[in-house]
């Protein structure tokens, strides 16, 4: 069974996080949410409080098949400023695992050097071509380029989550989960 880490930084985007957690768990993918601080209760960008499964410190060296970064502000900035996030991203990616980010969070992947030479998408104006010339930016809702998956924002969260289900499992599982959502 695939295992995914979703770090929750203060100010994360609720819709993206909850959508990812829910859809991946519907597909029988193990999701571990981790707070960046010692307090597992994390306040999202619109005041919603979620309780993470654990802290990042507790699982920082665990093996995951993928790490997924939700966007939102100031959540993305908080992820980007945490050196442990960059370390986990690089460690997992260098060991052949996948990384994913939605909304503003592809900026964290860019700062970690994981988008160089890749095609990616993000919330409009987060990554500017003049500032990131080694990244090919796309207007698509979801982009999969090798072991890097990116998406535009809250409005694309379901498609992003379903794409991750297909990536980690198969198209049959994706279709079954999508059908259960009555789309």
Res 183 pLDDT > 80: no
Which residues are part of the catalytic machinery? 103
**Which pLDDT belongs to residue 57?**
96
Q: What is the pLDDT of residues 6-40, one digit of tens each?
A: 999 999 999 999 999 999 999 999 999 999 999 99
Q: Which letter does DSSP use for residue 130 in this model?
A: T
Q: Encoding tokens for residue 46?
A: 């619109």
Q: What is the pLDDT of residues 139-157, one digit of tens each?
A: 999 999 999 999 999 999 9
Res 103 pLDDT > 70: yes
Q: Where residue 89 falls among pLDDT bands split at 50, 70, 90?
A: very high
* Mean pLDDT, rounded, for 109-115: 98
**Which pLDDT belongs to residue 7?**
98
* Mean pLDDT, rounded, for 103-118: 98
| CATH class in words for 3-173 | alpha beta
SS percent in the chain: helix, strand, coil, step 5: 35, 20, 40
Beta-strand pair 66-69/98-102: parallel
Q: What is the domain partition of the chain in residue ranges? A: 3-173
Q: Where residue 182 falls among pLDDT bands split at 50, 70, 90?
A: confident
Q: Encoding tokens for residue 21?
A: 């957690």
Q: What is the spatial distance between Cα 160 and Cα 172, in angstroms, rounded to a whole number?
A: 16
pTM of the model: 0.97
- The per-residue pLDDT of the chain, averaged, comes to 97
Q: How many CB atoms lie within 10 A of CB 75?
A: 30
């Amino acid at each position: 069974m695939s295992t995914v880490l979703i770090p929750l930084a203060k100010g994360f985007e609720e819709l993206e996080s909850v959508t990812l957690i829910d859809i991946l768990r519907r597909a029988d993918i193990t999701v571990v949410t981790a707070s960046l601080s010692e307090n597992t209760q994390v306040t999202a960008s619109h005041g919603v409080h979620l309780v993470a499964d654990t802290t990042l410190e507790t699982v920082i060296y665990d093996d995951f098949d993928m790490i997924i970064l939700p966007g939102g502000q100031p959540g993305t900035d908080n992820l980007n400023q945490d050196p442990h996030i960059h370390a986990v991203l690089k460690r997992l990616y260098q060991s052949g695992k996948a990384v994913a980010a939605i909304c503003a969070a592809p900026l964290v992947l860019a700062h970690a050097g994981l988008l160089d030479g890749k095609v990616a998408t993000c919330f409009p104006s987060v990554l500017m071509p003049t500032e990131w010339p080694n990244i090919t930016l796309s207007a698509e809702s979801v982009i999969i380029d090798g072991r890097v998956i990116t998406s535009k924002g809250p409005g694309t969260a379901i498609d992003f989550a379903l794409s991750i289900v297909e990536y980690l499992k198969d198209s049959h599982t994706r279709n079954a989960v999508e059908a259960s959502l009555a789309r």
